Amino acid sequence: VEQSVLEQNVTAVQPVLARRAARLAATPPAAESHEAIPFDSGHAFPGVLPDLTAAAQAALTAFRAETLQYGVRPGLPEMREFIASYMNADGAKVTADEILVVNGAKHGLDLLCRLLLDEGDSIVVTAPTYFTSIPIFRSFGVEFVEIGQDDEGMSVAELEDALRRLAAAGRKPPKFIYNVPDYHNPTAVTMTRGRREALLEVAAAHGIPVIEDSPYRKVRFEGVLEPSLKALDRRNGVYLLGTFSKLVAPGLRIGWVAAPRDVVARLVQLKSDGGTCPLTQRIILEFARAGGLERHIEKVQSVYRAHRDRMVAALNSELPEVKTTYPHGGYYVWLEFPQNVDTDALAKRAADFGATMIPGSKFFAGAGPASSKTPSAPKHFARLAYSHASPDEIEEGVKRIASALRSMRA
């Protein structure tokens, strides 16, 4: 493990916290007394966290011999069945043995990387892409093939071009295509059905698996629900990452990989953790059995819809010069500032004013000091999460960002 990779990870994973701390130490801001309003994290709103006491009580009494013992490595059989049914109710056609229960979706992504990647491989990601996945990918020494997006999602024409150019240059094809097709992180774009079908066709033609990262699919406020890539997949070429973090609570650390049987069998061998926690698996099963999950998903949708509404309204009134993709689901809004705004500087200034955000430059996998081959990332984007703060905090936080921006122009 190279020191440089680790250092990149430090930089990539906690940039706002680190810079905020440094900044606050260096120049005491006027707004220091504010508790910072958190637009930087995908944490859950504390008010939406469910009451799991009854489920835990059952899990720790009737199921004690199961929940406190080592669990089997692929996951509790009932949990695998439950996840398969949950996915099949959403158009997929998977069986329990195509499900691997993991310690959160990031763990599933890490396992897939361990299975599929060798040093020097390339992978396809969107530009921008999910921020936290970048250090995971980088730790495997991959090169990024970055593909742009429009309001229909990943540009499949650009992907085709890139694959053709790689082949023409005698390069190996990328090992997988990674995407968040529903309420994309960070852009909130949802792929259209046509784009999904085109993506699967190109992936199949080149023999490249697709990793469909799907944490937000049920965090849906309105609009059409397109079929998942997994549901559209006819060639066993899609590996879906799912999670209960957004449906029940992040702290339970239960996610899953849905993949062909032989892939699951190989991932199980790489999963040397003594089995994913059977207690939290059973808590989820008991919560669902009692009807809690279905009710909670409705609550999640209505709470975050209100957060989204408040943030969009605040952005319209406080930052009218900013362009966004209207989020029909998920946790995030992606801000496009005028070209002359440097959001790296703005994020620091906003932290001084008491609101945290992540500058857009952190979401471009191939750009920045880590790579000398590509130009630096565009500077005029930023991601705001509306999940964690309360509606009133959201309004106040957007005002603080607007004040920070004005103070930079002054």
| DSSP-H helix ranges across 31-176 | 53-60, 64-67, 77-88, 105-116, 133-138, 156-168
Under the binding rule (CB under 8 A), the answer on residue 24 touching its own copies is no
Under the binding rule (CB under 8 A), the answer on residue 44 touching its own copies is yes
Under the binding rule (CB under 8 A), the answer on residue 279 touching its own copies is yes
Q: Using alpha carbons only, what angle is made at residue 36 by residues 34 and 39, rounded to the nearest 5 degrees?
A: 150
Report the number of secondary-structure helices (H) and strands (E) in the chain.
Answer: 15, 15
Q: 104, 276 in Cβ contact below 8 A? A: no
- Of the candidate residues 187, 280, 325, 387, the single one contacting its own copies (CB under 8 A): 280
Please report, in angstroms and rounded to a whole number, the separation of the first and last CA atoms in the chain: 45
Segment near its own copies (CB under 8 A), from 98-106, 199-207, 355-363, 399-407?
98-106
> Following DSSP, what letter does each residue of 341-393 receive, concatenated?
--HHHHHHHHHHTTEE-EEGGGG-TT-STT-SSSPPPPSSEEEEE-SSS-HHH
- Other beta carbons less than 10 A from residue 312's beta carbon: 17
CA nearest neighbour of 52 among 399, 271, 292: 292
Q: What is the C-alpha to C-alpha distance for residues 316 and 258, in angstroms, rounded to an integer?
A: 39
- Of the candidate residues 25, 33, 35, 65, the single one contacting its own copies (CB under 8 A): 65
Is the Cβ of residue 115 or residue 202 nearer to its own copies in the bound state? 115
Under the binding rule (CB under 8 A), the answer on residue 121 touching its own copies is no
Under the binding rule (CB under 8 A), the answer on residue 269 touching its own copies is yes
- Of the candidate residues 32, 51, 222, 321, the single one contacting its own copies (CB under 8 A): 51
Is the Cβ of residue 151 or residue 273 nearer to its own copies in the bound state? 273
CA dihedral for 360, 41, 181, 333, sign (positive or negative) = negative
Shortest Cβ 27–its own copies spacing (Å): 26
- Of the candidate residues 107, 307, 308, 400, the single one contacting its own copies (CB under 8 A): 107
Under the binding rule (CB under 8 A), the answer on residue 312 touching its own copies is no
Q: What is the C-alpha to C-alpha distance for residues 392 and 282, in angstroms, rounded to an integer?
A: 36
Segment near its own copies (CB under 8 A), from 20-28, 147-155, 277-285, 334-342?
277-285
Instruction: Tell which phi-psi region holds residue 223, choosing left (phi > 0), alpha (psi between -120 and 50) or beta.
Output: left
Is the Cβ of residue 106 or residue 195 nearer to its own copies in the bound state? 106
Question: Which DSSP symbol is given to 117?
Answer: -
CA nearest neighbour of 333 among 397, 268, 242: 397
Segment near its own copies (CB under 8 A), from 91-99, 100-108, 205-213, 334-342?
100-108
- Other beta carbons less than 10 A from residue 371's beta carbon: 15
Q: What is the C-alpha to C-alpha distance for residues 342 and 234, in angstroms, rounded to an integer?
A: 44
Q: 367, 222 in Cβ contact below 8 A? A: no
Shortest Cβ 108–its own copies spacing (Å): 10
- Of the candidate residues 33, 89, 224, 272, the single one contacting its own copies (CB under 8 A): 272
Under the binding rule (CB under 8 A), the answer on residue 123 touching its own copies is no
- Three-state DSSP class for 319? coil
Under the binding rule (CB under 8 A), the answer on residue 185 touching its own copies is no
Size of site (CB under 8 A) for its own copies: 58
Under the binding rule (CB under 8 A), the answer on residue 71 touching its own copies is yes
Looking only at the bridges linking them, the beta strands covering 332-336 and 381-385 are antiparallel
Residues of this chain, 139-158, that bind its own copies according to CB under 8 A:
139
Under the binding rule (CB under 8 A), the answer on residue 257 touching its own copies is no
Shortest Cβ 114–its own copies spacing (Å): 7
Is the Cβ of residue 52 or residue 259 nearer to its own copies in the bound state? 52
Under the binding rule (CB under 8 A), the answer on residue 385 touching its own copies is no
Residues of this chain, 218-247, that bind its own copies according to CB under 8 A:
245
Q: What is the C-alpha to C-alpha distance for residues 137 and 310, in angstroms, rounded to an integer?
A: 34
Is the Cβ of residue 66 or residue 90 nearer to its own copies in the bound state? 66
Under the binding rule (CB under 8 A), the answer on residue 75 touching its own copies is no
Shortest Cβ 243–its own copies spacing (Å): 9
Shortest Cβ 104–its own copies spacing (Å): 4
Under the binding rule (CB under 8 A), the answer on residue 114 touching its own copies is yes
CA nearest neighbour of 360 among 384, 389, 383, 394: 383
Contacts to its own copies by CB under 8 A:
1, 6, 9-10, 13, 41-44, 46, 49-53, 56-57, 60-61, 64-71, 103-107, 109-110, 114-115, 132, 135-136, 139, 245, 249-253, 266, 269-270, 272-280
